[in-house]
């Protein structure tokens, strides 16, 4: 969003400077309207509502004899003072939700695996799978039930690298845990690799209209546009033949 605002302002300057007309003010005006809409509430409210609404309700889960719960990483943070690597502030709800689902599954007496997917995209020296996995073990996940996928650097690779792990384990029920805002892109990519997952959102972001611009609304606009852009690029790559062929979806047990 910041780049788009800067681009509009730069175009306004170029038009005003070299064409010496009033056309530049059209770009300045567009930048101002976009800033007010994105930082004041209307745009992020509309964007995140359409992203999250399909995943607002937590589904009722009927656990099968073999189950896999997949939780996606959302970055790590390095504590400079101590050198410790911890999950980002956005990871807490995903960890809690995935552990809650794991305990629900275990209480049925069925076989339950918890797959943590995430490499080191933040370049802090430890993978999300390692950091999150250790926390889940301390929370009470059985070591034999924890599976770690530590190579993926983005959502596409989450799906790509989790797929062979699921094929090897052959669960009858797959549950995918991530943020509601992130779920549409994650669902699109996992379905491309033939993974038919039950979708459980770990958190749901809210936004509201404000009279004055605020940084939170601007951040939410940027995050939502990132999700829409990711899905758009996926369909573009499909049209250009740059993605590997989609795999047939293996439907879950009823």
pLDDT mean for each 10 residues of the chain (254 residues): 75 73 73 76 87 93 97 94 92 97 97 98 95 97 98 98 96 97 97 96 84 80 93 97 90 57
What is the structure's pLDDT at 251?
A: 61
Judge residue 147's burial from the number of C-beta atoms within 10 Å of its C-beta, 0-12 exposed, 13-18 middle, 19 or more buried: buried
Residue 72 token pair? 């996606």
- What fold, for 64-206+233-240? Rossmann fold (3.40.50)
Task: Note the pTM of the prediction, 2 decimals.
Answer: 0.89
What is the structure's pLDDT at 252?
A: 63
User: What is the residue-wise DSSP string for 23-47?
Assistant: HHHHHHHHHHHHHHHHHHSHHHHHH
What is the structure's pLDDT at 45?
A: 86
Q: What count of other Cβ atoms lies within 10 Å of the Cβ of residue 230?
A: 18
């Amino acid at each position: 969003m910041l780049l788009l605002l800067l681009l509009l302002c730069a175009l306004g300057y170029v038009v005003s400077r070299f064409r010496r007309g009033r056309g530049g003010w059209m770009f300045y005006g567009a930048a101002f309207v976009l800033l007010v809409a994105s930082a004041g509430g209307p745009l992020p409210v509309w964007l995140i509502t359409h992203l999250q609404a399909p995943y607002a309700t937590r589904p009722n889960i009927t656990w099968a004899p073999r189950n896999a719960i997949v939780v996606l990483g959302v970055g790590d943070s390095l504590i400079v003072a101590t050198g410790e690597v911890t999950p980002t502030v956005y990871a807490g709800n995903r960890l809690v939700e995935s552990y809650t689902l794991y305990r629900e599954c275990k209480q049925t007496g069925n076989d339950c695996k918890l797959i943590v997917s995430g490499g080191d995209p933040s370049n802090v020296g430890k993978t999300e799978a390692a950091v999150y996995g250790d926390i889940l073990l301390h929370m009470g996940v059985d070591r034999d039930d924890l599976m770690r996928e530590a190579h993926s650097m983005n959502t596409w690779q989450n799906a790509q690298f989790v797929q062979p792990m699921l094929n090897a384990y052959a669960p009858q029920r797959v549950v995918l845990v991530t943020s509601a805002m992130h779920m549409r892109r994650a669902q699109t990519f996992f379905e491309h690799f033939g993974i038919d997952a039950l979708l459980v959102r770990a958190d749901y972001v809210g936004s509201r209209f404000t009279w004055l611009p605020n940084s939170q609304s601007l951040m939410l606009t940027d995050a939502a546009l990132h999700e829409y852009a990711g899905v758009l690029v996926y369909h573009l790559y499909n049209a250009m033949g740059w993605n590997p062929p989609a795999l047939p979806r293996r439907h879950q047990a009823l």
